Structure 1
Amino acid sequence: MEFFGSLQSLGIEAGTGLMFAMLLFLLVTGIPLAYVTLLVALFFVLGWFGPSAVPLITSRIYSFVSSFVFVSVPMFVLMAAILDRSGIARDLFDAMKLFAGRMRGGVAVQTIFVAVILAAMSGIIGGEIVLLGLIALPQMLRLGYDRKLAIGVVCAGGALGTMIPPSIVLIIYGLTANVSIGDLFTAAFIPGAMLAAFYVAYVLIRTRMNPDMAPLGDLSGVDRTEKLRLAKGLVLPMLVVVGVLGSIYGGIASVTEASAVGVIGVTLSTMVRGEFSFRMMIDAALQTLQTVGMIVWIGIGATALVGVFNLMGGIHFVTELITGISDNPVLILLFMMVILFVLGMFLDWVGIALLTMPVFVPIIVSLGYDPVWFGVVFCMNMQMSFLSPPFGPAAFYLKSVAPPDISLGEIFRALLPFIGLQALAVGLLILFPALAYY
């Protein structure tokens, strides 16, 4: 009983240090982030305040998981799970030959275009990288593409789901920062397209400078009938994209309602293609349950920990600590970017968003920055974390489906130029905030 409330004597400085040390130690032991944050939150709520404060934390958790917008997360995950089990992505990839088939490096450009469309259909990253790794990577390797270029295009293109609406990263940020998700989607549109354009430009420039990196495309053997068949592969994906994003931007549906439109659209597409089965839907539902369960548990743990830390006065302490490093708002912003980049090497983006945004967003607002713009910058930073060693998820997703002779080290080396392009995009967003127009 002496433990209850005894930690207050440490003071907020030592308490913050102890909390950080406990988090680090428990994460190193291999315990999942969701359980680590819950354990540390429970330890501090009892040790700092006593049992009477527990209801305050549980009410905070309830407000997070009961948000109506949060319903859109499992919907978009379900869309991606159904896509994984259909042939829509393969037909879409084949159809893009009509636009990029004749140029040098055309299959790589084709892969980036497909990645953008898939991102606009579901907003899930892991599934896109696996799909592209199964469809595009073998074809590029067979045609004699430079291995590093092929690997980088698949991983970087697949990670565009972070930026291209309807991105789940944007949804979680909007929930955490309490800003309009519709505004976030609109603001992220141009930066997402800009990043995809950087990738395309990089492929075209590299292959022009070194023609040995990619062969010239050839559509000479494709007759008109075959072109029409390939073009049909664009129809269903574009209808789904228009249904989801068009209903949001047109003011017809909210983000949550549009996610349901997307699920219906993808399901109807599988029916039209003759691929629908109850077994497929059950498997997709089970995958959705697993993915969303992970997001929810991380959200519960992070929300509890941030709630305890806020009650302790920790957020005020950290705010003063960060704003005290300089009088220049840009330096403070860059310092935050460095923190997010480093955290992204070790933590899942869900945990990063839920743990840092309650601290960072009030600072951003106090410095006079737009929280919607900062959300786009945050997502661009998370793009870098998906690719960055030592634990960049994109590399591990690709490794799971890549040929055995492609090592993780080779994948991470292949990603370095694309990380540089992402850093350039972050810099441009900071220099020209109007790029995130909404």
Structure 2
Amino acid sequence: MSDILHLGINLQELGIGWGTIVMFAMMVALLLTGMPLAFVTLLVALIFALGWFGPMSIPLITSRVYSFVSNFVFVSVPMFVLMAAILDRSGIARDLFDAMKLFAGRVRGGVAVQTIFVAVILAAMSGIIGGEIVLLGLIALPQMLRLGYDRNLAIGVVCAGGSLGTMVPPSIVLIIYGLTANVSIGELFSAAFIPGFMLAMFYVLYILARAYLTPHVVPPVDPTPIPSAEKLRLLKGLFLPILVVFFVLGSIYGGIASVTEASAIGVGGVILSTILRGEFTFRLLRDSALQTLATVGMIVWIGIGATAIVGVYNLMGGVNFISQMITGVSDNPTVIVLLMMAILFFLGAFLDWVGIALLTMPIFVPIIKSLGMDPVWFGVLFCMNMQVSFLSPPFGPAAFYLKSVTPDIPLGVIFRALLPFIALQVLAVGLLLFFPGITGR
């Protein structure tokens, strides 16, 4: 005990400035060893809790962690993950992709355009990113390559479209931000709807521009009309997904159900869809549940670690220290927000979005409020920034998700194909920053 107390005196003597540097250096060093972020943050939090305050600080940290994981809204996360897992194992996404030919089949670059629209619908059903990219990589990418689409364009469409789950409600990223920032998740969903659709339209416009200005990147339009019987069959594939989206988002926006209740409705809708399609089996449910446990377990552990280290750092006075540093950069609020975006962009190249949200938002959101800005708008801006991180090298998750189902395509090729779409995402971040009214706030 005396050694711990002596360590506490030594760490306190560092002061908050050097304490921050030592904490950051310790995290980086442990991450470089390959240790998962959740365990790194937990270990560093424990060391600084004991070293700075002594054993009496541990109950304060555990109570903070408990308040995070016991939040009722957090129940919606495994529900939406389960929806995505079931979609991944059913034929709903494939039939949805085929059905969209009815709307984009007569347009140059139509398959790429329908891929974006399918991505929006899948995002509105589950809000999960990785599963979408894998699904589109298995369904849309082979078809585009077979038809003669430029490989870079096809890769970019799949990764960028699959990442729309970050922005399109019911986004898991928005839910975690709402929990961390203590902001209404319903308001976040409402504010993110138009920006998410705007980004999807940027992708569509880029595809159409490439299709008509550089015709060699897309195949000619197939002039063969679709028979009426085939149209009816394709429409059936569109009905169930649209119905699920309507009930999930409609119940939230209509004030009928909370986000947590709507997520349960969504799971019920997807399971009912698989039953009606004759695809439901015990194995499908079991495998989906196991995948959900693995994914949510990762999110929970990162949440526990990040909540613990932010709690310790807050007790050390670190949040006020960082806030003063950031606000001292300029008197212009826009410059301060730009600095935050730069920090998030840098972190996005190395850390998972869950860790970024839980580590930075307890610091950034109070600054935003003190500047008189809307934390709901900032949440949408944060999610748009995370869009960029999903595609950006060297560790953009979207590229690795696609690589997992297309091992013959080098990672360097995938990242080069994403550059135009990253530029569109940066444009969307800029528009949101300078025109907050896009969110309707």
Provide TM-score, normalisation by structure 2. 0.98
Aligned equivalent of 1:255 = 259
- 2:82 & 2:159 partners in 1: Cα distance? 21
- 2:223 & 2:343 partners in 1: Cα distance? 48
Aligned equivalent of 1:36 = 40
Instruction: Tell me the alpha carbon deviations over residues 167-204 of structure 1, each in whole angstroms, 9 at most, x when there is no partner.
Output: 00000000000000000000000000000000000000
- 2:47 & 2:94 partners in 1: Cα distance? 50
Instruction: Tell me the alpha carbon deviations over residues 12-36 of structure 1, each in whole angstroms, 9 at most, x when there is no partner.
Output: 1110110000001001110000000
Partner amino acid, structure 2, of 1:23: M
Instruction: Tell me the alpha carbon deviations over residues 32-84 of structure 1, each in whole angstroms, 9 at most, x when there is no partner.
Output: 00000000000000000000010000000000000000000000000000000
Whether 1:424 and 2:424 are equivalent positions in the alignment is no
Partner amino acid, structure 1, of 2:417: A
How much does 1:403 deviate?
5.2
How much does 1:221 deviate?
4.8
Aligned equivalent of 2:347 = 343
**Which structure 2 residue ranges, 5 or more long, are not aligned?**
none
Identity within the alignment, %:
77
Aligned equivalent of 1:228 = 232
- 2:142 & 2:422 partners in 1: Cα distance? 23
Aligned equivalent of 1:316 = 320
- 1:44 & 1:402 partners in 2: Cα distance? 43
Whether 1:116 and 2:120 are equivalent positions in the alignment is yes
Contact 1:383–1:422 (8 Å) recurs in 2:
yes
Partner of residue 286 from structure 1, selected from 283, 290, 293: 290
- 2:156 & 2:439 partners in 1: Cα distance? 26
Partner of residue 276 from structure 2, selected from 272, 279, 303: 272
Partner of residue 73 from structure 1, selected from 64, 74, 77: 77
Partner amino acid, structure 1, of 2:45: A
Whether 1:172 and 2:176 are equivalent positions in the alignment is yes
- 2:310 & 2:124 partners in 1: Cα distance? 32
Whether 1:51 and 2:55 are equivalent positions in the alignment is yes
Partner amino acid, structure 2, of 1:152: G
Partner amino acid, structure 2, of 1:2: D
Partner amino acid, structure 1, of 2:440: Y
Contact 1:198–1:421 (8 Å) recurs in 2:
yes
- 1:243 & 1:225 partners in 2: Cα distance? 28
How much does 1:217 deviate?
2.8
- 1:321 & 1:216 partners in 2: Cα distance? 56
Partner of residue 415 from structure 2, selected from 395, 412, 416: 412
Whether 1:216 and 2:217 are equivalent positions in the alignment is no
How much does 1:359 deviate?
0.2
- 1:92 & 1:416 partners in 2: Cα distance? 28
Partner amino acid, structure 1, of 2:428: A
Whether 1:155 and 2:159 are equivalent positions in the alignment is yes
How much does 1:379 deviate?
0.1
Contact 1:101–1:219 (8 Å) recurs in 2:
no
How much does 1:377 deviate?
0.1
How much does 1:367 deviate?
1.0
Partner of residue 196 from structure 1, selected from 197, 200, 211: 200
Aligned equivalent of 1:3 = 4
Contact 1:315–1:359 (8 Å) recurs in 2:
yes
Whether 1:366 and 2:370 are equivalent positions in the alignment is yes
Partner of residue 89 from structure 1, selected from 89, 93, 106: 93
Q: CA RMSD in A?
A: 0.7
Contact 1:164–1:188 (8 Å) recurs in 2:
yes
The runs of at least 4 aligned residues of structure 1 exceeding 4 Å deviation read: none
**Which structure 1 residue ranges, 5 or more long, are not aligned?**
none
- 1:25 & 1:3 partners in 2: Cα distance? 22
SS at match of 1:2: helix
SS at match of 1:327: coil
SS at match of 2:3: coil
Whether 1:63 and 2:67 are equivalent positions in the alignment is yes
Contact 1:399–1:408 (8 Å) recurs in 2:
yes
- 1:39 & 1:113 partners in 2: Cα distance? 43
- 2:309 & 2:419 partners in 1: Cα distance? 34
SS at match of 1:291: helix
Aligned equivalent of 1:304 = 308
Contact 1:106–1:216 (8 Å) recurs in 2:
no
Contact 1:128–1:159 (8 Å) recurs in 2:
yes
Partner amino acid, structure 2, of 1:273: R
SS at match of 1:179: coil
- 2:440 & 2:166 partners in 1: Cα distance? 18
How much does 1:215 deviate?
1.2
Partner amino acid, structure 1, of 2:411: L
Provide TM-score, normalisation by structure 1. 0.99
How much does 1:402 deviate?
1.5
- Residue 219 and residue 271 in structure 1: after superposition, are their counterparts in 2 closer, same or farther (change >3 A)? farther
Instruction: Tell me the alpha carbon deviations over residues 322-353 of structure 1, each in whole angstroms, 9 at most, x when there is no partner.
Output: 11111111111000000000000000000000
Contact 1:103–1:216 (8 Å) recurs in 2:
no
Partner amino acid, structure 2, of 1:421: L
- Residue 403 and residue 137 in structure 1: after superposition, are their counterparts in 2 closer, same or farther (change >3 A)? farther
- 2:394 & 2:152 partners in 1: Cα distance? 18
- Residue 226 and residue 219 in structure 1: after superposition, are their counterparts in 2 closer, same or farther (change >3 A)? farther
- 2:228 & 2:407 partners in 1: Cα distance? 35
Partner amino acid, structure 2, of 1:39: L
How much does 1:222 deviate?
2.2
SS at match of 2:142: helix
Contact 1:77–1:124 (8 Å) recurs in 2:
yes
